Amino acid sequence: MKRTDQSSLVGDKDLAVYVKPRFYSIGWRLLVYFFFVSLLPVFIIGYSMIQNSQYLLQTEISNKLEAIAMSKLSKIQFLLDESQGEFEDFFMNRSDLLTSIDQMLRESDFEKRNDVRKDFQELLSYSRHFSELALLDRHTGRIIVSTDPSKEGQKWDDPVLFEKGVSQFYTENLHYASELNDYTLGMSMPLRHTNSDFLGVFVGRLDLSKLYGFLGDHAGFGETGETYIVNNEGYIIYGIGLNSYYRKMEPAIRQRLVAEYKQTPLSTEGAVRGMRGETGIAIYDDYAGNEVIGYFENIPKFDFVFLAEQFTNEAFASVQVMKFRLVWILFGVLAANVILAFIIANSITRPLSKLTESAKQISSGDYEALTQVTGYDEFGILAQAFNRMSETLILSLDETKNIIRVLPNALFVLDTQGRITSVNQAAERLTEFGSQEMAGKSLEELIGHTGDGQKEEIFNLTDLRKRGAIYDLQAFCFTKYHKNIPISLSGVVLKNKQQKLIGFIVVAQDLSDIKASEIKLQASHAILKKEKAKTDEEKAKAEALLESIGEGIIAIDPQGKVLFMNQKSEAMFGRSSQEAIGRHYAENFDFEDAKGRPIKSDIFSVSGSIVMDKKIVFFFKLDNGKLPLSITVSPIVFEEKSMGNIVTFRDITKEMEVDKAKSEFVSLASHQLRTPLTGIKWLLQEIFRKGNLGDLQTEYMQDAIHSNDRMINLVNDLLNVSRLETGTIQAVSEKVDLFEFLHPIVREASILSKETGRILRFHLSGSKIDVMLDPQLIGQVITNLLSNAIHYTDKGKTITISAEKKGKAIVIKVTDEGIGISKEDQKKLFSKFFRSKEAAKRSTTGSGLGLYIVGKILDVCSGTIECQSEEGRGTTFIVTLPIKGPVNKASEKTLILKKLFSPLKK
Amino acid sequence: MSQNTKKILIAEDDPFLVKIMANRLREEGFEVETANDGDEAMQKVKGCSYALLMLDLIMPNKNGFEVLQQMKEDHCNIPVLVFTNLSQEEDKEEVMSLGAKGYYVKSDIAIDELVEVIKENTKEKTEA
């Protein structure tokens, strides 16, 4: 199923250059990503853990070192205390020995000396702490008797011991005695006979092996722990070379080392600081250069520094292990990362390279290069999509080929040299050659300028190449069977995406049939022209009609573009129709509302058959002010389809001026009328109050007051009307209980009804009803309705007022059994100065303003009123008020706007 | 100021109304003085010796609003009741914001009620 014949139509094989991805490849990015996501946190956490445990361990070791030092020091202390006790107690209860010493000294008897020495040696054999005892001459300090007879006659190695021991008990410091080639610690005291004769100085040398034993015992101190003593000059007294670390050395080397250290003063941090009198713990290099953690304490009593040290590599071994492990873990994670990144990258890139491979194949012409990527992950889906794409490509290619095949016009595909590579069926029909016969031929062999069959270049290929396309060239086609057919020839160049020329397409249209139909076409053209002239005339007539209308008219299409503007609207808006037509009306005109806010709503778009409310007034901004307009929008409907809207503008400047003047006059007049009326009122009241009036006079007086009040009421009504009309009254919103609100009004009315012999009933259904309303304005409405009802109802009949809550509204009904209102009059009931015939017959006092005011107030308060009546039977007025109170007038206006016109979306 | 008789100033340009009010209030035991326009009212008020000022709003030379404004600037704290025939809510609001103690529409108030209002307002003053 390989297709090979389409390559000439599609393009070069090396259409795109594929580059292998390198450092930005998914694998590398994954590796870097994994590195940062896993390796770095592991390192940071591990490092901080090590730091933390090293700190904890150091504290622990410090505590341990201190404890070891304490225990050893206390043992040493105890040892010295015990030795001192023993030394002092040697001659307790031994007056016999003292006597024989006394005799020995007096008689210079050598036999006695031997006895005394024996006694000394006996003392020493029982002693637990001493290695040598001797008696020094009280004058010379020479040894008289010693447990070691070889030393008799010599001086004691430390002269201080004798000097001090002459007068008191004395313990010398631990020190190095060169004569002994060892450290020594001696004690001395004056030896006196019971008769207080001073016999000499008794001295003893401490056996230091126990002390050394304490120092050398490194229990709880590991392999490298050691304790040793340094004297006040920094010389090591004892203790080094005793730990397991040194013990493992060759004994000779060890002894040499020890001897060396004993001869050089120590300058390690522990020793130096200890000699300065400090006590503490530090990490430093010891005498042999090993890093240790050491505890040092200066013991002033013995004048030496005690040191306890342990190699840090042993002390912190566990941390070392941790560090070591961390390195391994890091290596492990790194290795895992690399492997994981490699696997994932591979699993991602393998299907990708497969897809790339397929894409390459498709671009090189193999449209059936399906991808063998399976699975349900993103790659599986991508592969499916890819396969679908290539299927679609095949289909669309087939489609294109089919279209070309069945195209009524002959189509020739030429290569860059101008040789035919493929043709369609129409070309075969036109030329009468088969496609195989035509392949490789140049176009000139088939087509020429004239009908004489001369072969010449019909398309200059260089020219075509330059121009890109040549259209409608008149030519002739020479068929296989020598017919010359008139054709129209067009050619285009075929380029690939890189704008490289890959061939030409030439289309030839057989003109032999068209030539005949051209004549027919000309005839119908003439008819059309006539018809058009007619319609133009009609249109001109209609336009003239529109132009002559006194109101501004514009027509807009459903998209809001201005189609037409008459002269009046040109004058109104100061725009010529040429300027405005074709542009959106919002670009042409700025409208604003009564408060000067721009109207942004899509004001003229009215769908269906809605006609916009005429009452809404817009102002058009002029350079020198505003033009008040009343606007009507009506849809243009043609064959049940909306063709746009006709907008009519009426300039209402005059009306507004008249309205304003009228209202101002009424307002002023009312005020001026009120002042004298007030005077009359008060004067009459004063006269009436002063009394002394006869019955008739009293009645007249009341009548005068009453009639003056009527006058005042009338003026008040007129004033209200003017204010309502100019819009200066705004409803306030107060929360009231419906019963408490209505009760005083009804009571006042019931006084009037009782006086005049009518019955007034009050029904309030439901419990407490809270409602938001303007008590003054609504009170006026109810009073007015009740007063009307009483006026127009016969004596003895009933008037009912009821109130109830209905959904989100309050419904108040005033029903009377009065004269009723005819259907005809009901329509005019709420207009200004209107009085029904029946009402006028009955009473002459009405001004015809009451219900007008009621209506206006309810407008302001967002309420409604309805009248149901039957002549002679009675009337019901139904007032409905929103329970949430009056909607603010200003926002109400925009509300209406919003309802009527959907806002312009930007 | 006398303890028993309270002095009241009526600022009103309509002589007819002035006469009725003044007569009636004198009858009720008040000492009454009158001013025919805003300037006169301002001059009389300067001494600050009134228990109450009854003020009209529409007057020649200086209207009631201006009188109230001036009094406010002068820190004159004589209580003021406005008696007018302007009945718009905005007028009332403005007058009250300028410091008036009350607002009454003359045509809608009976003379007896007016007297009650005056008594009520002067009583408060002496108690305070």
Among A696, A723, A750, the domain-final residue is: A723
In this complex, do A679 and B58 lie within 8 Å of one another by their Cβ atoms? no
Q: Which of residues 107-126 of B touch A (CB under 8 A)?
A: 107-108, 110-112, 114
Whether A95 maps to a domain, the answer reads yes
Phi, psi of A302 (to 5 degrees): -105, -5
Whether A891 maps to a domain, the answer reads yes
Three-state secondary structure string covering A867-901: EEEECCCEEEEEEEEECCCCCCHHHHHHHHHHHHC
CA–CA gap between residue A608 and residue A644 (Å, rounded): 10
Residue A519 has pLDDT above 70, yes or no: no
Boundaries of domain holding A625: 549-651
CA–CA gap between residue A62 and residue A283 (Å, rounded): 10
| CB under 8 A, 24+ apart: contacts of A428-431 | A430/A477, A430/A479, A430/A485, A430/A487, A430/A508, A430/A510, A431/A477, A431/A479, A431/A480
Sign of CA dihedral A59, A60, A63, A66: negative
What pLDDT, on a 0 to 100 scale, did the predictor assign at position A901?
Answer: 31
Same domain, yes or no: A71 and A139: no
Instruction: Look up the ipTM and state it.
Output: 0.86
Whether A15 maps to a domain, the answer reads no
Q: What angle do CA A150, A154, A156 make, to 5 degrees?
A: 105
Among A359, A393, A421, the domain-final residue is: A359
Asked if residues A309 and A286 have their Cβ atoms less than 8 Å apart, the reply is yes
CA–CA gap between residue A377 and residue A611 (Å, rounded): 59
Flag the least confident range among A282-291, A456-465, A530-539.
Answer: A456-465
Q: pLDDT-based confidence at A903, cuts 50/70/90?
A: very low
Whether A807 maps to a domain, the answer reads yes
Percentage of chain A beyond pLDDT 70 is: 83
Tell me the nearest-neighbour CA distance from A665 into chain B, angstroms: 14
pLDDT digits (tens, 9 = 90+) for B30-77: 999 999 988 899 888 887 688 899 999 888 888 888 999 988 888 888
B99: left (phi over 0), alpha (psi -120 to 50) or beta: left
**Mutate which: A682, A702, A718, vs B, most B CBs within 10 A:** A682
Same domain, yes or no: A328 and A445: no
Tell me the nearest-neighbour CA distance from B5 into chain A, angstroms: 22
At a CB cut-off of 8 Å and minimum separation 6, what does A360 contact?
A18
| Average pLDDT estimate for A271-285 | 86
Q: pLDDT-based confidence at A837, cuts 50/70/90?
A: confident
pLDDT digits (tens, 9 = 90+) for A41-69: 878 888 888 888 888 888 888 888 888 88
What pLDDT, on a 0 to 100 scale, did the predictor assign at position A596?
Answer: 65
Flag the least confident range among A61-75, A631-645, A727-741.
Answer: A631-645
Sign of CA dihedral A367, A373, A379, A381: positive
Q: pLDDT-based confidence at A451, cuts 50/70/90?
A: low
In this complex, do B107 and A683 lie within 8 Å of one another by their Cβ atoms? no
Residue B10 has pLDDT above 90, yes or no: yes
* CA A316 from centre of chain: 49
Same domain, yes or no: A476 and A604: no
Same domain, yes or no: A309 and A440: no
| Average pLDDT estimate for A406-416 | 81
CA–CA gap between residue A881 and residue A879 (Å, rounded): 7
pLDDT digits (tens, 9 = 90+) for A11-27: 333 333 444 555 556 66
**Closest Cα in chain B to A712:** B107
CATH number at residue A779: 3.30.565.10
What pLDDT, on a 0 to 100 scale, did the predictor assign at position B103?
Answer: 92
Query: For A257-343, where are the E strands, in sequence order?
Result: 280-285, 291-299, 304-311
Helix (H, G, I), strand (E, B) or coil at A784: helix
CATH number at residue A64: 3.30.450.20
Tokens of A875: 């009337």
Tokens of A415: 């290569």
Q: DSSP for A565-622?
A: E-HHHHHHHT--HHHHTTSBHHHH--EE-TTS-B--S-TT---TT----TT-EEEEEE
Residue A175 has pLDDT above 80, yes or no: no
Helix A850-860 vs helix A695-726: crossing angle, to nearest 10: 40
CA–CA gap between residue A715 and residue A709 (Å, rounded): 10
Q: Which of residues 675-694 of A touch B (CB under 8 A)?
A: 675-679, 681-683, 685-686, 689
At a CB cut-off of 8 Å and minimum separation 6, what does A834 contact?
A825, A828, A848, A851, A852
What ranges do the domains of chain B cover?
A: 7-115
Residue A350 has pLDDT above 70, yes or no: yes
Among A140, A175, A206, the domain-final residue is: A206
In this complex, do B87 and A728 lie within 8 Å of one another by their Cβ atoms? no
A715 — contact with chain B (CB < 8 Å)? Answer: yes
Considering only CA atoms, which of A200, A192, A132 is closest in space to residue A166?
A200
What pLDDT, on a 0 to 100 scale, did the predictor assign at position A712?
Answer: 86
In this complex, do B87 and A681 lie within 8 Å of one another by their Cβ atoms? no
Residue A611 has pLDDT above 60, yes or no: no
- Between A644 and A902, name the one with better pLDDT: A644
- Looking at domain B7-115, its CATH superfamily turns out to be Response regulator (3.40.50.2300)
Chain A residues within 8 A of B114 when measuring between CB atoms: 682
Report CA-CA distances (Å) from A300 to A279, A305, A661.
Answer: 11, 8, 118
In this complex, do A675 and B24 lie within 8 Å of one another by their Cβ atoms? no
Same domain, yes or no: A698 and A634: no
Same domain, yes or no: A255 and A327: yes
Percentage of chain A beyond pLDDT 90 is: 1
CA–CA gap between residue A167 and residue A192 (Å, rounded): 11
Mean pLDDT over each residue of chain A, to the nearest integer: 77
Q: Name the helix (H) or strand (E) containing A669.
A: helix A653-690
Residue A574 has pLDDT above 80, yes or no: no
Whether A9 maps to a domain, the answer reads no
CA–CA gap between residue A325 and residue A776 (Å, rounded): 91
Whether A319 maps to a domain, the answer reads yes
Q: How many CB atoms lie within 10 A of CB A522?
A: 9
Same domain, yes or no: A857 and A888: yes
CA–CA gap between residue A878 and residue A851 (Å, rounded): 13
User: How far is it between the farthest Cα atoms of chain A?
Assistant: 182
Q: Which of residues 17-46 of B touch A (CB under 8 A)?
A: 17, 20-21, 23-24
Same domain, yes or no: A155 and A239: no
| CB under 8 A, 24+ apart: contacts of A823-831 | A826/A867, A826/A869, A829/A867, A830/A854, A830/A855, A830/A865
**Mutate which: A664, A673, A675, A776, vs B, most B CBs within 10 A:** A675
Asked if residues A514 and A486 have their Cβ atoms less than 8 Å apart, the reply is no
Number of structural domains in chain A: 6
| Average pLDDT estimate for A883-902 | 45
